[in-house]
Structure 1
Amino acid sequence: MKKKFKEFIQHNRWLKAVPNALTLCNSLCGFVAIVYTLQVYENPRDEIDVFAVSAWIIIFAMVFDALDGFAARLFNAASMHGVQMDSLSDMVTFGVAPATIAAIMTHCLRAEMTYWQNLMTYIFCGIYLGCAALRLATYNVHAILEKKSSEKFSGLPSPGGAAALCSVVLFFQRPPTELAHIHPGFIMPVYAALLGLLMVSNIPYPHMGKWFFSIRRNKKRLALFVLALAILFAFRIHGVVALVNLYILSGPAIALYQLLRPHFIRRRIAVE
């Protein structure tokens, strides 16, 4: 049965086009998110809702980003052409679109901004955009040279950075009463720049696509997945915000632990 399925895939050229079609859907989501964000200037009364819809579009694009790699492996259609297309699409959806949302959201929600505040907003968002481009270019180089995928990323993957920015947008759509005084215009650009720096760092981050597809074979990962679903079911949007930003913080936390671990081991040995 498996042999017939493989033969069917090899002789069906339409199936080979499925991964690239999913990648194009990813880039179209990024384009729609950018265009929809610009609608805020025509409808200033519901500006935070406009940004929230754009954030959901980017999050939805992550489904296509996960499925194109899965389809490429399933249909044996992986190629360097697909790798390049994937990075170009990610640049639009997870690079340009989140930076656009962060810049326009800051500009619209802060009533009065000085020239220098405007300049710093665009610089911080530009840092995110530039780092996303460097991150994706580095990923392409590694894909060409290593020719094999890894369980971990070196640096924050661009979908993770986009998810973090989108989570901030969703959080401020309906913030808890005790945090309602915090203004998103002060947070978005700075957070965008920090996420950009994490993208070009050497801090390891798990490959979430492979992590999800491996939960059936790993009881610990299955337990974590069930816990994450419980958090999402109980807290919904705030659960999404918490889980995404825990993922962002997990990289620096693990890197710091690995850096300090030899020191604690030597100290324990000396005490013993």
Structure 2
Amino acid sequence: MGKSRFILPNAFTSMNFLLGVFAICWVTGAFSSFTSADPIRTGAYFILLSVLLDKLDGFAARLVNASSEFGAQFDSLSDLIAFGLAPAFTIFFAYKTIAPEWFQANGVLLVVTFSIYVLCAAMRLAKYNACDSDTYHHHFSGLPSTFAGAINAILIVHLQSHGFFADQSGIHMFLPVFVMLVTGLLMVCPLFLPKLQPRKNPIFNIFQAILIVITYICGFVFISDKIPFITEYLLVLCTSYLVIGFGIGLVQRKKIIANAEKNKIEERR
């Protein structure tokens, strides 16, 4: 196959990169002159499409034996755009377009939170390439940027569609900013999150597979506001995974670190 085998995985990475760029274009109004689609929901939808396609580049690379350092760096760059910059722009411009008075009064807070989130996403991806990719095989160290981007994109659409911005005088207006800050910090925190992998329990694997299939279906039809409970399902699923997963990681922390050190020693031999 030669170098042609690298085309497939890099094609998926290219799609993720462009989806992230297009998400930013939607939410900032760059495409508003030729479409009447809701820019916030459309931008969030592009982020979710990136989430759904994110694993395909790695799967394709393993399938055709085309893993490379270039592919790893390109993947991290596309993740920074799709799950770092795009969600931050989505939250920022949601406030700017839907709640302009609140935006003017709290612009500094938004800029600071925006900056922290994007920096944490960049550091998370750099840390993964430099330290974690070959260290923890069954756990994530910190919140993956994929989940951070998905949570922020889903949340802002959910709140917008349920009239969250109708009353702009309450403390509830800080919720998306708070979530963006927390998810940003979680990306660089020293907590462990179990990866979605096949387990020894076949019943658990079936249950996990069903949830993944339903999630993919919900993700692809997310653009429609006619289908009820999509945002609720996705938010409950993501929140449950993070709370339970980080809880398990905290309980098993010493064991996870010990296994990682053991694997390092074995690889050096």
- TM bucket by the smaller chain? 0.7 to 0.9
Change in 2 beyond 3 A, CA 1:249/1:73: same
User: Equivalent residue for 2:24?
Assistant: 34
Aligned to 2:29, what secondary structure does the other structure show?
Answer: helix
- Work out the CA distance in 1 between the residues paired with 2:204 and 2:11: 34
- Work out the CA distance in 2 between the residues paired with 1:129 and 1:60: 20
- Work out the CA distance in 2 between the residues paired with 1:255 and 1:128: 23
**Which residue among 7, 17, 27 is the counterpart of 2:7?**
17
Change in 2 beyond 3 A, CA 1:216/1:21: farther
1:162-218 CA distances to partner (integer Å, 9 max, x unpaired)? Answer: 01101102212432x8x786767422222111101000011111333xx2xx37973
Aligned residue-pair number: 238
Aligned pairs for 1:108-257 within 5 A:
108-113=97-102, 117-142=106-131, 146=134, 150-175=137-162, 185-208=173-196, 211=197, 214=198, 218-226=202-210, 235-255=229-249, 257=251
1:34-82 CA distances to partner (integer Å, 9 max, x unpaired)? Answer: 0111118958xx89x3211111111101232110000010000011111
Change in 2 beyond 3 A, CA 1:77/1:25: same
5+ residue gaps in structure 1?
1-10, 260-272
Asked if 2 retains the 8 angstrom alpha-carbon contact of 1:33 and 1:57, the reply is yes
User: Equivalent residue for 1:7?
Assistant: none
Query: What RMSD in Å do the two structures reach over aligned CA positions?
Result: 3.1
Asked if 1 retains the 8 angstrom alpha-carbon contact of 2:121 and 2:145, the reply is yes
Aligned to 1:205, what secondary structure does the other structure show?
Answer: strand
Asked if 2 retains the 8 angstrom alpha-carbon contact of 1:20 and 1:68, the reply is yes
After superposing the two structures, state which structure 1 stretch, 165-174 or 226-235, moved more: 226-235
- Work out the CA distance in 1 between the residues paired with 2:212 and 2:108: 39
5+ residue gaps in structure 2?
219-226, 254-269
Asked if 2 retains the 8 angstrom alpha-carbon contact of 1:30 and 1:57, the reply is yes
1:237-267 CA distances to partner (integer Å, 9 max, x unpaired)? Answer: 31112112222333443355558xxxxxxxx
User: Equivalent residue for 1:58?
Assistant: 47
**Which residue among 54, 76, 92 is the counterpart of 2:65?**
76
Asked if 1 retains the 8 angstrom alpha-carbon contact of 2:155 and 2:231, the reply is no
Identical counterparts, % of pairs: 29
- Work out the CA distance in 1 between the residues paired with 2:78 and 2:65: 21
- Work out the CA distance in 1 between the residues paired with 2:207 and 2:103: 50
Asked if 2 retains the 8 angstrom alpha-carbon contact of 1:131 and 1:197, the reply is yes
Asked if 2 retains the 8 angstrom alpha-carbon contact of 1:106 and 1:189, the reply is no
- Work out the CA distance in 1 between the residues paired with 2:87 and 2:214: 28
Change in 2 beyond 3 A, CA 1:33/1:227: closer
- Work out the CA distance in 1 between the residues paired with 2:231 and 2:179: 19
Which amino acid is the alignment partner of residue 226 of structure 1? I
User: Equivalent residue for 2:223?
Assistant: none
Structure 1 or 2, whichever has the larger Rg, is 1
Change in 2 beyond 3 A, CA 1:247/1:185: same
Change in 2 beyond 3 A, CA 1:188/1:21: same
Asked if 1 retains the 8 angstrom alpha-carbon contact of 2:72 and 2:129, the reply is yes
Asked if 2 retains the 8 angstrom alpha-carbon contact of 1:33 and 1:54, the reply is yes
